[in-house]
Structure 1
Amino acid sequence: MLSRIAAAAGLALMAAAPPALALEKVIFGTNWLAQAEHGGFYQSVADGTYAECGLEVEILPGGPQVNNRAMMLAGRIDFHMGGNLLQPFSAVEQGIPVVAVAAIFQKEPQVIIAHPGMAETFEDLKKLTLLIGENGYQSFYQWMIKAYGFTREQRRPYTFNPAPFLADKNTAMQGYLSSEPYLIKKEAGFEPKVFLLADHGFSTYSTLIETMADTIEKRPAVVQCFVDGSIKGWYRYLYGDPSAANELIKAANPEMTDDKIAYAIEKMKEYGIVDSGDALTLGIGAMTEARVKDFFDKMVAAGVVSPDVDWKKAFTTRFVNKGVGMELKP
């Protein structure tokens, strides 16, 4: 479905433009179903930003049964939307030449959610039973144990069903900033207390643009065009008119609604998910060596990552930190 949408958008733009050199086709695989958190990429497909520098970009959505990262490793797609820095660290450890070339999210949208009145501060969460999934337990929860003194005993497995949380005020649960809080407010009728881990020291970047080291070596202009186009798309999506991108998102994921998209955009702005920290001076997509090292050191201290990992191989700042698109921000 989305391939046809991208193709149609591209053809319409090319039909309206004077004759030009053929666009180079690239495929960008996301790590989940289309949603507002992917909005800047869809924006640059919809408004022709990628085409302006010579790329015809097809967005290939991820999902429960889709592994687009494996597709990139196999050479079937060009770029992948990664999660946080733990994935590139793991790739380095395994000798896999995946490199993060931009960090669209300055803050990871991972949250802990509590009932109103049950936890006013992050430290208050220690009094509650925490519903944490296995991946979270092996990553951010180990940091919570090391940095704040949370315990293994207070954790219970989270099955991505909010019912146990809703039934017991003495529990808190993991969530995604624009997902579980939205559902709780809509279905349970109350506004939960939300703690963004990034605001309490979980300092990873997120929504990374990843590619293979070989792509960087042989096609640097393509990498730069895709990174620059994505950055401009995110400025326009957050601060301009996102309607064309939202139509592509809804076409690719019919379960996505205008209400949920609006909620996600609001939360990304409110919490500075995309445009905060170094992005305020270096532009969206910013990465710095100091920030990556800070997160690496925390993960080593928490026992999540081996100290022997050559973390500098996990990313490059070659394509970011240039202030691209900052003039698009009001």
Structure 2
Amino acid sequence: MRPAALFRALMVGLVAAASPALAQAPAKLDKVSFGTNWVAEAEHGGFFQAVADGTYARYGLDVTIVSGGPNINNRILLASGKLDFFMSANSLQSFDAVANNVPVVAVAAMFQKDPQVFLAHPDARVSKLEDLKPLTLFVSKEGMQTYFQWLKSEYGFNETNVKPYTFNAQPFLADKKSAMEGYVTSEPFAVEKQAGFKPTVIELADYGFNTYSTLIETRRDLAENKPDLVQRFVDASIVGWYNYLYGDNRPGNALIKKFNPDMTDELLTYSVAKMKEYGIVDSGDTLKDGIGAMSDARMANFFDKMVRAGVVRSDIDFKASYTLRYVNKGVGLDRRPKN
């Protein structure tokens, strides 16, 4: 679901030196590895920023980012002990881990809103979610197994007019009575560039698809036996996201482009602007609890929706999929602009 060309992921060890003003940073840094779930992009910006601007180093960490991509499954590397942390797509993956006895746990949710959207042609006169029903809908295989089941159970959608989405916008562009799935941070930009019009955007999160997204996962043994290490990684990542959104994010963007040479400054700028506009990272509970916030009530609410939709089993212990131990501490709140 990205407009950038795909490339083989790189594994690069990155150590940022602490600034002279922060001499209290440990001389010896703890080495940890963090795997993303896709090629480097603005949606990963806070993590790259924390490496590039020295935030991880100031928290005593030497972080190696292992970029994801097509045919790369960093989540398996996490479970097998070859990675220390992983960037999980959404809460459904956390529920799935419990269902399959995978020994991982979510420790922070960097996105309060899932960026999943539908794009429609302006001529289709779509103004709300229900307006999508009569249109041809291009939905990916993963989408059919997840959010589309929720659309069926909560809004009465059906599969009659659904066609496979293969991450090619051409079928959508050719049919003005169609809508295409995408991420609010990327696909609208690609459509504008390719077709010269601004698509109508319907964000699923605004209609109750309230999964957390871009969660930090770690192994249960690490969370239980090295809580200080996990806390420092979570806190530094949170600060990295504040710096990326509200500070000078040029270091983070430069590192993203090093990992992904196909990334452009224009798309990076667009994606950051959309993350701010839609409150993807910083909204809701984060306004008082800080970026990364999670709550039991919201996890329970989303779990119930997914059970009703038949996406997850009702008998799994969803509370075992996450922990609030490392979040909701107000870390980084002072870095949000006052106005």
Residue of structure 2 in register with 1:66 after alignment? 72
Check whether the contact 2:123–2:176 (CA below 8 A) recurs between aligned residues.
Answer: no
1:40-82 CA distance string (max 9 Å, x none): 0111111111111211011110000211101111101100000
Residue of structure 1 in register with 2:230 after alignment? 223
Segment of structure 1 superposing worse, 112-121 or 29-38: 112-121
CA distance, structure 2, for counterparts of residue 15 and residue 124 of structure 1: 57
CA distance, structure 2, for counterparts of residue 121 and residue 290 of structure 1: 26
- Say yes or no: does 1:22 pair with 2:28: yes
- Say yes or no: does 1:259 pair with 2:269: no
Give the one of 206, 213, 219 matched to 1:199. 206
Give the one of 31, 42, 48 matched to 1:42. 48
1:183-222 CA distance string (max 9 Å, x none): 1001100000011111111000000000011001111001
Per-residue deviation, 1:17: 7.4
Residue of structure 1 in register with 2:5 after alignment? none
Check whether the contact 2:11–2:67 (CA below 8 A) recurs between aligned residues.
Answer: no
Check whether the contact 2:26–2:60 (CA below 8 A) recurs between aligned residues.
Answer: no
Segment of structure 1 superposing worse, 51-60 or 22-31: 51-60
CA distance, structure 1, for counterparts of residue 158 and residue 29 of structure 2: 54
Residue type of the partner of 1:246?
N
Per-residue deviation, 1:160: 1.1
CA distance, structure 2, for counterparts of residue 327 and residue 117 of structure 1: 44
Residue of structure 2 in register with 1:6 after alignment? 14
Instruction: Give the SS at the match of 2:123.
Output: coil
Residue of structure 2 in register with 1:308 after alignment? 315
Residue of structure 2 in register with 1:158 after alignment? 165
Residue type of the partner of 1:115?
H
Residue type of the partner of 2:128?
T
In structure 2, the gaps of 5 or more residues are: 1-8
Residue type of the partner of 1:329?
R
- Within 5 Å, which residues of 2 pair with 1:51-130? 51-118=57-124, 119-130=126-137
Per-residue deviation, 1:224: 0.1
CA distance, structure 2, for counterparts of residue 257 and residue 158 of structure 1: 24
Residue type of the partner of 2:160?
E
CA distance, structure 2, for counterparts of residue 3 and residue 158 of structure 1: 30
Check whether the contact 1:274–1:284 (CA below 8 A) recurs between aligned residues.
Answer: yes
The count of residues paired between Structure 1 and Structure 2 equals 327
Instruction: Give the SS at the match of 1:117.
Output: helix
- Say yes or no: does 1:327 pair with 2:327: no
- Say yes or no: does 1:187 pair with 2:182: no
Per-residue deviation, 1:4: 4.5
Per-residue deviation, 1:156: 1.2
In structure 1, the gaps of 5 or more residues are: none
CA distance, structure 1, for counterparts of residue 22 and residue 204 of structure 2: 46
CA distance, structure 2, for counterparts of residue 117 and residue 312 of structure 1: 44
TM-score between the two structures when normalised by the length of structure 1: 0.96
Per-residue deviation, 1:232: 0.5
Check whether the contact 2:104–2:220 (CA below 8 A) recurs between aligned residues.
Answer: yes
- CA 1:236–1:2 in structure 2 vs 1: closer, same or farther (change >3 Å)? farther
- CA 1:312–1:176 in structure 2 vs 1: closer, same or farther (change >3 Å)? same
Per-residue deviation, 1:117: 3.2
Check whether the contact 1:5–1:248 (CA below 8 A) recurs between aligned residues.
Answer: no
- Say yes or no: does 1:148 pair with 2:122: no
* Identity of matched residues, %: 56
CA distance, structure 1, for counterparts of residue 252 and residue 179 of structure 2: 34
Residue of structure 1 in register with 2:3 after alignment? none
CA distance, structure 2, for counterparts of residue 94 and residue 204 of structure 1: 20
- Say yes or no: does 1:248 pair with 2:258: no
- Within 5 Å, which residues of 2 pair with 1:283-294? 283-294=290-301
TM-score between the two structures when normalised by the length of structure 2: 0.93
